[in-house]
Structure 1
Amino acid sequence: MSVALPVLAVTLAYVVWRTRAWFPALVAVLAMALVPALVAPLQSLLARPGPPPMAPDTGFYPSGHAATAAVAYGLCALLLHHRLLPHGCALLNAAVGLGLVHQGYHWPADVVGSWCVAVLLLCAAAYAISRSSRRTSSGTARS
């Protein structure tokens, strides 16, 4: 979170400065706000124990850290529209997931579950942004 959120903040500032469009940035902020709103209840509901160093504690599925990273970096790739960014985003998130598992913070399934949550949020954000840009471009085409 200490890296992913500042990277997203810089990306949002750049996109708003470059395009003067606030709606994609608002969608991104909403998507990020939905990460803990979805992950925390799932963790409480499922109460899955963590790997051995964390064993008695529960609430590890899905991984909030992996979900935050996946949504933040995914939104950056979505907003910047560069063809290589999705590949870099996937590699970066794979590294985050592997790091979480390797350090003993999460089981592999915790990370995969968080990626599933992230895909849902990113698809919803992409849909909202594309609908907005279609309306804007069709509205200016008529004027």
Structure 2
Amino acid sequence: MPVVLGVLLLVVSWQVAADGPLLGLDRWTQHAVREVRHALPGTLLDHLGEALSDLGGGPVAVSVLLLGAAVAAGRELRAGFAHWWLPLPVAVLTAGAIPLLVVPAKAWFARPGPSGLPLAADQWGWYPSGHTATAALGYGVAALLLARAAGPRTRRLLAAGAALLVAGVGLGLVWSDYHWLLDVVASWCAGGLVLWALARWPLTGRAGQDAGDGPPGAA
């Protein structure tokens, strides 16, 4: 999995930097989405796309990350884990790392957005998608932290919920014409690599006490 994600990220980044033929996929996807949008009656899917896109904003995703860390720390404290406080600094560090990972890449690639307009002097660029990366790390790390004191079924539900949210944000951005498809794919790959590494790190992996579907003594 990390090899596939890493290779895909490198290929996409190379194509964006070189304005390669793979960018035709972006233009084809944009045209197809616009055709579908114009053919559908009503604006329900447009509103859904906007709502899903907003879930990738910092105020929402980072708030969920910090709240998830607080809940995880509280559950581990009640369960008697020795290092119950670890989710809190991990969440804070993750929130601070998101712009450090995304903003330099946006500035370096300086990719214009789907509107086709050139970048303004105060714009960083569209590649990779910041909302998608924020969603991947915000919801993904929150799920990892909550999983520390959870049983197998709950861990699967947390992983599935985070994956659905991250996928929904990316698809909403493409549907709303806020981002190119490859902007989103790159952030999915980068976020997946970070989460894969964090899942194997003691601070976000299983806590030092086996648990059932919840910490002992928790409701």
TM-score bracket for this pair, using the shorter chain length: 0.7 to 0.9
**Of the candidates 97, 105, 108, which is equivalent to residue 45 of structure 1?**
108
Amino acid at match of 1:11: G
Amino acid at match of 1:55: L
Contact preservation (8 Å) 1:24, 1:129:
no
Gaps of 5+ in 1: 138-143
Q: State the partner residue of 2:118.
A: 56
Contact preservation (8 Å) 1:43, 1:61:
yes
Distance 1:125 1:31, change over 3 A: farther
Amino acid at match of 2:118: P
Number of equivalenced pairs: 135
Identity %: 48
- Once the two structures are TM-superposed, the CA of residue 7 in structure 1 deviates from its matched residue by 1.4
Distance 1:109 1:101 in 2: 10
Q: State the partner residue of 2:177.
A: 104
CA deviations on 1:87-115 (whole Å, 9 max, x unpaired) are 12111111111111111110011011111
Contact preservation (8 Å) 1:32, 1:72:
yes
CA deviations on 1:25-62 (whole Å, 9 max, x unpaired) are 3223222322110110011111111102x632251010
Q: TM-score, normalised by structure 2?
A: 0.56
Q: TM-score, normalised by structure 1?
A: 0.82
Amino acid at match of 1:68: T
Structure 1 stretches of 4+ with a deviation exceeding 6 A read: none
Larger-gyration structure (1/2): 2
Matched, 1:27 2:90: yes
**1:128 is paired with a residue of what secondary structure?**
coil
CA deviations on 1:96-135 (whole Å, 9 max, x unpaired) are 111111111100110111112212222232222368867x
Distance 2:205 2:163 in 1: 26
Q: Which has a greater percent of helix? A: 1
- Once the two structures are TM-superposed, the CA of residue 14 in structure 1 deviates from its matched residue by 0.8
* Aligned-CA RMSD value: 2.1
Contact preservation (8 Å) 1:23, 1:129:
no
**2:187 is paired with a residue of what secondary structure?**
helix
Gaps of 5+ in 2: 1-57, 78-83, 148-153, 210-219
